[in-house]
Amino acid sequence: MLRVTAMWLLFITIAALLYYLLPDWPAPHRGEKDGYGLFWQVASFSVIMVLTFLVLDALRLCYYWIQKLHTKLDELSTRDSTAKYHYSDTEINSTSKLLEEIVILVAKRTRVIDKLIYYPLLTIMLMLFASISYFDNQDFPRSMGITFAASITLLIFAGFKLRTEADRLKFKVIQCLENLSHEKGHLVQQQVDKAIQNINTISYGAFQSMQEQPVMRTLLLILASLGLFAGEYLKMFG
């Protein structure tokens, strides 16, 4: 919460500076224009930013956790390069199972973390959608549009970065397994090949196909919604 609060305060400060630096355009308003609508607009914006940074922090922690696993695999690879010919068949079997479990653990963890990206992106889209002329036609500051665009970019970048790091870990695990079976007997080779086959069949979490990834689906959803928002919000940059 301390990390999220610090990032939120920094982002809100930047958004406030942009609000005063960038003039608003005159937009129609239904009913008497007072501070009540502005209060809820600012409140909803602040809550969405808190949600965004909570998800970004979860993605960041998962990313660094996978990097720590990379470090452990590097240590194992270094040890294998000097002592792989002294491993017994039993040790190789247990090590291959451990490496397989690492990939399964990453898949299970990222399956939970990846889905979190839906929440801030959907709330941002709902807030944008609620402000168009079909519903309310509220004033929508350029500063808020810029901060929302930056938030969406950060979330999508973090989602793709997490997938890339998980794929790198999977590739390194397979390399470690192949090194373990080097110049060993046929039985050990079969065990390692089975472990590699099991790893390659893992198709959930960060190892889903690209079109099934939550980050890709949200990106496609945003692109599909641009047609609805374009007529209303392109005037921000006019």
Task: Give me the residue label for tokens 């960060």.
Answer: 206
Confidence (pLDDT) at 55: 92
Among the listed residues 64, 69, 118, the one whose alpha carbon sits nearest the alpha carbon of residue 98 = 69
Confidence (pLDDT) at 153: 87
Instruction: Report the alpha-carbon distance of residue 132 to residue 145 in Å, rounded.
Output: 13
What average pLDDT does range 173-190 have in this prediction?
Answer: 71
Task: Give me the residue label for tokens 């695990």.
Answer: 173
Confidence (pLDDT) at 61: 94
Instruction: Report the alpha-carbon distance of residue 84 to residue 73 in Å, rounded.
Output: 14
185: tokens are: 């007997």
| SS3 per residue for 46-92 | HHHHHHHHHHHHHHHHHHHHHHHHHHHHHHHHHHHHHHHHHCCHHHH
Query: For 61-106, what is each residue's pLDDT tens digit?
Result: 999 999 999 888 877 766 655 544 456 667 777 888 888 899 999 9
What average pLDDT does range 131-154 have in this prediction?
Answer: 72
Task: Give me the residue label for tokens 């973090």.
Answer: 158
pLDDT at 113 over 70: yes
- Which of the 8 DSSP states describes residue 31? S
What average pLDDT does range 51-56 have in this prediction?
Answer: 91
User: What amino acid occupies position 36?
Assistant: Y
Query: For 5-30, what is each residue's pLDDT tens digit?
Result: 888 888 888 877 877 777 655 444 45
Confidence (pLDDT) at 28: 44
Which range (37-51, 57-71, 111-125) has the least confidence? 37-51
Among the listed residues 65, 176, 167, 50, the one whose alpha carbon sits nearest the alpha carbon of residue 120 = 50
Which range (112-116, 166-170, 234-238) has the least confidence? 234-238
Q: What is the pTM of this model?
A: 0.78
